[in-house]
Amino acid sequence: MKKNIIIITLLFIALAIPAGAQMYRRGMSKDVSPFKEKRRAALARIQEVRANLTTEQRDAIRKLRDAFLDETVELRKNIREKGAEFRDLIKSENPVKSEVMAVRQELFDLKTILFQKKFDLRQEQRKIIKSNNAEG
pTM, entire model: 0.65
CATH (residue range 54-135) = 1.20.120.1490
29-38 pLDDT, tens per residue? 555 566 778 8
Greatest CA separation for the chain: 80
Sorting pLDDT into bands at 50, 70 and 90, what band is 107? very high
Averaged pLDDT for residues 87-109? 93
For the cut 90, the answer to whether the pLDDT of residue 17 exceeds it is no
In the chain, domain spans: 54-135
Do 82 and 110 form a contact (C-beta atoms < 8 A)?
yes
Model confidence band, residue 121 (pLDDT cutoffs 50, 70, 90): very high
Alpha-carbon distance 44 to 105, whole Å?
37
Neighbour count for residue 113 (Cβ, 10 Å)? 14
